[in-house]
Amino acid sequence: MNAMSLHKPRNWMSYMTDSLVNSGVMPTWEAIEYLTTNLVGEAPNTNLHHSKSPYETIQQFLHRIYEPIVEAASRTVEIPPQAMLHMFTDISLMGKSAVLVVYYPGHNQPHKLLLLDSAPAWDLIFDSTAAFNEWAEERYGWIISALKTVGHQAESSPTEQSAALQAV
pLDDT in tens, 31-56: 999 999 999 999 888 888 788 999 99
State pLDDT tens for residues 80-94: 999 999 999 999 988
Is the CA virtual torsion 16, 21, 24, 25 positive or negative? positive
Longest dimension (CA), the chain: 56
Residue 1 lies in a domain: no
CATH at 49: 1.10.3100.20
Average pLDDT score over the chain: 87
pTM over 0.95: no
Structural domain count, the chain: 1
The CB density around residue 167, as the number of other CB atoms within 10 Å, is 6
Residue 52 forms part of a structural domain: yes
Tell me if 22 is assigned to some domain. yes
Evaluate whether residue 25 is within a structural domain: yes
The answer to whether the CB of 140 falls within 8 A of the CB of 69 is yes
Q: Which domain holds residue 163?
A: 10-167
The helix-helix angle for 54-76 and 28-39 (nearest 10°) equals 100
- Determine what percent of the chain is predicted with pLDDT higher than 70: 85
The total number of residues shown for the chain amounts to: 168
